[in-house]
């Protein structure tokens, strides 16, 4: 299927590694030129070189701090100038899972860490959207995809859950405001996802259980286990990339203001 992304220009925040990098790779494979952005220029340069070599597309690294409005405004405009336009914005910048001191019992909550999590993920996405929207409105076309997370549906992680719920509300609000200008806005909830961090995390889990990493992963993803899902395996970051590429495509005009969970069927609740 031709997604209509050939020659499109995209900005992906949080793209030096993990889900953001996987998204940038899939957009490039579909024919988009991409600015990959995060704090670490060294990591971005490696990611950009790798994606460019695999796809033959222009991949431009740009460093920025999502908590600083002036830096966000600068990098979005610099991205549009460097690419020759901007049609796709993907907000994927965050600390995976949230700050450890803001995820446990409320007695141990550190206010500053909780606010920092919101500042990076929710406010960072809001800042990027605010900077990009005038460019998208001017051309009467745009795609904004917010990467949130299934912590929003699971009680217990104060920071991860709250910031992810706020991403869903922002998505619907922006979709309501921007649809008339040809801009769609959607949100993806990844669950536990295989990234570069996974091998070390599995090794630690395997040591805890006294089994091999492969056995630890299998045990954890069986139905009824702590992270079990319907497909009985971990979702790969590339699969989040596929979904993002579809939502960014010309085939997804009918979808806006929506949330799509991509955790392999985690949980048993019915949503309607």
pLDDT values of the chain reduced to their tens digit, one per residue, 272 residues: 788 899 999 999 999 999 999 999 999 999 999 999 999 999 999 999 999 999 999 999 999 999 999 999 999 999 999 999 999 999 999 877 667 766 778 888 888 888 998 999 999 999 999 999 999 999 999 999 999 998 888 777 777 788 999 999 999 999 999 999 999 999 999 998 999 888 888 888 878 888 888 887 887 776 655 677 888 889 999 999 999 999 999 999 999 999 999 999 987 778 76
Pull the structure tokens for residue 183: 């801009």
State the pLDDT at residue 77.
Answer: 98
Give the DSSP per-residue string, 203-271: HHHHHHHTS-HHHHHHHHTSTTSTT--TTSSPEEHHHHHHHHHHHTSGGGTT--S-EEEESSS-S----
- Residue spans of the domains in the chain: they are 9-192+236-262, 197-233
**Cα separation of the two ends of the chain:** 29
Pull the structure tokens for residue 45: 């340069």
State the pLDDT at residue 90.
Answer: 98
State the pLDDT at residue 197.
Answer: 85
CA angle 244, 248, 250 (to 5 degrees): 135
For the domain spanning 9-192+236-262, the CATH number is 3.40.50.720
State the pLDDT at residue 96.
Answer: 73
Picking from 76, 93, 95, the residue whose alpha carbon sits closest to that of residue 10 is 76
Which DSSP state fits 172?
H
């Amino acid at each position: 299927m031709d997604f209509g992304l050939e020659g499109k220009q995209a900005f992906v925040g949080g793209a030096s590694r993990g889900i953001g990098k996987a998204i940038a790779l899939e957009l490039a494979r579909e024919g988009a030129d991409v600015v990959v952005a995060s704090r670490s220029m060294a990591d971005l340069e490696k990611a950009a070189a790798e994606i460019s070599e695999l796809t033959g597309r222009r991949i431009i690294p740009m460093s920025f701090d999502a908590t600083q409005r002036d830096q966000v405004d600068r990098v979005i405009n610099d991205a549009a100038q460097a690419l020759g336009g901007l049609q796709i914005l993907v907000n994927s910048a965050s600390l995976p899972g949230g700050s450890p001191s803001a995820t446990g019992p409320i007695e141990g909550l550190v206010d500053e860490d909780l606010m920092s999590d919101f500042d990076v993920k929710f406010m960072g996405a809001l800042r990027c959207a605010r900077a990009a929207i005038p460019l998208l409105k001017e051309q009467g076309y745009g795609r904004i995809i917010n990467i949130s997370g299934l912590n929003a549906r699971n009680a217990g992680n104060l920071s991860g859950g709250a910031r992810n719920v706020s991403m869903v509300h922002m998505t619907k609000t922006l979709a309501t405001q921007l649809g008339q200008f040809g801009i769609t806005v959607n949100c993806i909830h990844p669950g536990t996802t295989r990234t570069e961090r996974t091998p070390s995390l599995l090794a630690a889990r395997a040591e805890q259980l006294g089994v091999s990493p492969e056995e630890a992963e299998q045990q954890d993803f069986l139905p009824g286990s702590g992270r079990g899902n319907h497909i009985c395996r971990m979702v790969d970051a590339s699969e989040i990339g596929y979904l993002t590429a579809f939502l960014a495509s010309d085939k997804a005009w009918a979808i806006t203001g929506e949330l799509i969970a991509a955790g392999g069927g985690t949980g048993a609740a019915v949503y309607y």
